[in-house]
Amino acid sequence: MRSLSSNIQNNSEEKVSDEPDSKTLTEKTRTLPLNTTLKSKYIIRGLITITDMGAVYIGEDKTSHEIYAIKELNPSQASTDEDRDYAVDKFIKEGKLLQNLNFTSVPKVIEYFISENNYYIIMEFIEGLDLEGMVKTTGTPGLPQELVIDWGIEICDVMDCLHNYNPPIIYRDMKPANIMIRNSDHSVVLIDFGIALPLYEELKGFARTKIGTMGYMAPEQFHGKVSPASDIFSLGGTLYFALTAQVQQVFNYIPMKNFVMEVSDELEDIISRTLKIKPEDRFSSAAELKKALVNLKNRLKEDKIKTEEELKKALEDTNTYGSDILVFTPDNLKAILKIKTEEFKKTEALDKKIKIIEEIEKLSDPEATGVLIDILLNCKDAICRKVASVSLGKRKDPICIDTLVKKTKDKDRDVRLSSIESLGNFKTEEALKGLEVCLKNKNKMIRKTAIKAIEHIGSKEALTILLEARKKEGFFSIGMKRIIDTSIEKINLSLEGNKKKKKTRKYNFFELIKRFFMKK
């Protein structure tokens, strides 16, 4: 995942680099050298991306040392005078528009100016990832509906402000790549206002035909007509992608449940309404769409609370009447995990804490491993940490190996020993490396436990580690050498036994063939 992104990026593949890529520096797309100073104030520190007629840079204010995104337009790269005039006009309008807007979800423009016949906009630098990139990197395949609903509500607020601005502003290019998610607070920022325009200009005929992005632009935009309803359509397409990782088909709506079963029926209805062909069939405004999303969010929250309360009652009944009365489905497993996690935090009785850890261990939800890791890393009670390390070893989820290796150095000896034992359940190079370090420990019990764990892994690599460890034992370390020799012998027997089994299988196979032909 990119750690740095600019508010003016509109391509999920765009990257921040310290130096321009030499392959892109053609005669038509020259970029400013690093450390170039603009307006005696802004220093070019890096190239973010190259655009059709310019570039976007990371810049630093010489005085305040603030970091900005610097958007550049080079009119000389236009192929015709008409294209040049249109690009310049659009660039200037974007600068003026953003400078006048004072919304937290819109990038702030510091200033815009001309330097050596090129045009520049100095903008707030957004650190985060665009929605398209987030879906591609973390979606399964899409993002959780609760998260998408929250972001949809935030975007509705931005659209409502734009549509009620004086004069009203139509964004015209809503899409996942134009929505940034801030790293700091996960709030949304609407970026790239290059083709946004006041509604009165559209009414005067200034809007160019077919401006937008396929899969997100409303049907009327194909004819050069735009209205607030056009942005609502584009937002619907954006939320559709966020939920399914699929670009919706403009004239052929495919239900989201075809791709993601977890989408609620109510959300399906809301999204399908935003994507109606006729503008009048969509939500009448961003405010109306927001109201529908907020109501759905509240209902889902209430349903979740009811589900958790029912599960709590079911868990109590399980303890009383037996485990057969509770069916563990993927949905209630997550709720049960949440309930158990909260119970662990609230209870002070050690025996109850241990019981909860053991119950979490048995949950098949993958997130249970993360809860156990958190207990092992952060719980103050050493006994709980020990039980958590044992549970992680039983779950055999490779994601916990790094944590177990770290806890081989826990301040409590029992936690160290249990973590070492658990590492013996992982036949991986990472686990073996962690155990190999333990063989160098001065504490004999630590070394002995590590030897047994390596023996349990029982691979050729494990055998090599023990052979090397034996060589490093001191002359008088007779007892430890015997322990190592015993483990080496067991691994050798295991490896030889596997070879014999393979040979036996081959022998029996040929014997069967021989007997078959003898009968013939």
33-79 pLDDT, tens digit per residue, is 999 999 999 999 999 888 778 899 999 999 999 999 999 999 988 88
> In this model, does residue 236 exceed pLDDT 90?
yes
Q: b/e for 213-232, b at 16 or more Cβ within 10 A?
A: bebbbbbbbeeeebbbbbbb
Task: Note the pLDDT of residue 312.
Answer: 64
Considering only residues 207 and 439, tell me which one the structure prediction assigns the higher pLDDT. Answer: 439
Q: Between 351 and 336, whose confidence is greater? A: 351
Q: Tell me the average pLDDT across 382-393.
A: 96
Q: Is the pLDDT of residue 10 over 90?
A: no
Residue 73, φ and ψ in degrees, nearest 5: -120, 125
Q: What is the pLDDT of residue 196?
A: 64
Predicted confidence band of residue 308 (pLDDT cuts 50, 70, 90): low
Question: What are the tokens at 265?
Answer: 């029926």
Q: Which of 6-15, 168-177, 454-463 has the lowest mean pLDDT?
A: 6-15
pLDDT digits over 158-177, tens only?
Answer: 999 999 988 888 998 899 99
**Lowest-confidence range among 4-8, 277-281, 485-489?**
4-8
**pLDDT at position 507 over 80:** no
- Nearest CA-CA partner of 111 in 50, 167, 53, 68: 68
Identify the CATH number of the domain defined by range 22-126: 3.30.200.20
Average pLDDT of the residues in 238-263: 93
Domain ranges of the chain: 22-126, 129-299, 327-464
> Distance between CA 462 and CA 432 in Å, rounded?
7
pLDDT over 60 at 25, yes or no:
no
State the CATH architecture for 327-464: Alpha Horseshoe (1.25)
Answer whether residue 114 shows pLDDT above 80: yes
Instruction: Tell me the average pLDDT across 287-314.
Output: 80
Q: How confident is the model at residue 520 (pLDDT cuts 50, 70, 90)?
A: very low
**What pLDDT is attached to residue 258?**
93
Q: How far apart are CA 319 and CA 451, in angstroms?
A: 40
Q: How confident is the model at residue 93 (pLDDT cuts 50, 70, 90)?
A: confident
H or E stretch covering 72: strand 67-73
Flag the least confident range among 322-336, 378-392, 411-425, 469-483: 322-336
Closest alpha carbon to 236 in 298, 157, 175, 294: 175
> pTM higher than 0.75 for the full model?
no
Distance CA 338, CA 351 (A): 19
Q: What is the largest CA-CA distance in the chain?
A: 98
Structure tokens at 229: 């309803």
| Percent of the chain residues topping a pLDDT of 70 | 81
pLDDT over threshold 50, residue 488: yes
Query: Taking all residues of the chain, what is their mean pLDDT, rounded to a whole number?
Result: 83
Residue type, 297: K
Distance CA 165, CA 119 (A): 26
Lowest-confidence pick of 212-216, 268-272, 424-428: 212-216
**In terms of CATH architecture, what is 129-299?**
Orthogonal Bundle (1.10)
- Residue 325 pLDDT: 39
